[in-house]
Amino acid sequence: MINRRKNMKIESALKMIKKGDQTGYLFLMEETEGFLRKIHNRYLKSVLDFDEWKSEALDVLMRSVDKYQNNFDSKFTTYYFSALQHKAMDLLRKTYSKKEQNRRQHLSLDKLAIDGFDPIDQSWNEAQSKIDFEDAISQVDFHNCKQESIAVKHLFGDAELAEEIEKGIKSHSLDYRQKRLINDIYKHFYGLKNDDDSAA
């Protein structure tokens, strides 16, 4: 019953906007703020302030209302929320690119694609996962052995060592958590397999 009333209010706001009453936008922003915060807290909190995200969302809202007027096959909130997710993905991609420029100044996005990760084709969740993995690996206390050293060099940009990693990585000196992290990094970032995967 509550959702039905809410949907009726949203439809009323859309009619207001169609008649030229811009206050309908403010109502829609208030009604959907909970979803805005959910996206921000889950994916964009470290990317931009909520007020900035809200400003981006207003632009998305205005575009969505304009396009929705000719498409009544679905609820407006479904249409708008989908557009918001695409916007958040775009923002995350931009942030990802900036982090890559700082972290791998000598490695182009084209080279990353060759190594098995194309930020243009991947979803925002996968892009965020890549950033999280890199942050995690930078905090791992690796043993001083050649194989792990090679793995870290490759992770942070020395792509020429790919063949050497595929042939030579041994993770027997790592504990289970570290082994799992290395395996996940290979699979997710580069599509490489280490000896543990071959034995499985």
Per-residue confidence at 75, pLDDT binned at 50, 70, 90?
confident
pLDDT tens, residue by residue, 46-63: 888 999 999 999 999 999
> Residue 148's domain spans which residues?
111-199
pLDDT value for 56: 93
Q: What domain count does the chain have?
A: 2
Please measure the distance between the N-terminal and C-terminal CA atoms of the chain and give it in whole angstroms. Answer: 53
Q: Indicate whether 123 and 50 sit together in one domain.
A: no
- With helix as H, strand as E and coil as C, how does the chain read? CHHHHHHHHHHHHHHHHHCCCCHHHHHHHHHCHHHHHHHHHHHHCCCCCHHHHHHHHHHHHHHHHHHHCCCCCCCHHHHHHHHHHHHHHHHHHHHHHHHHHHHCCCCCHHHHHHCCCCCCCCCHHHHHHHHHHHHHHHCCCCCCCHHHHHHHHHHCCCHHHHHHHHHHCCCCCCCHHHHHHHHHHHHHHHCCCCHHHHHC
Does residue 155 have a pLDDT over 80? no
Q: Indicate whether 25 and 77 sit together in one domain.
A: yes
Does residue 149 sit within a domain? yes
Q: Which of 40, 72, 100 is the last residue of a domain?
A: 100
Q: Indicate whether 90 and 116 sit together in one domain.
A: no
Q: Which of 100, 123, 158 is the last residue of a domain?
A: 100
pLDDT value for 62: 92
Check if the beta carbon of residue 165 is closer than 8 Å to that of residue 154.
yes
Q: Indicate whether 120 and 87 sit together in one domain.
A: no
Per-residue confidence at 193, pLDDT binned at 50, 70, 90?
very low
Does residue 106 sit within a domain? no
pLDDT tens, residue by residue, 159-169: 454 445 444 44
Q: Which of 53, 73, 100 is the last residue of a domain?
A: 100
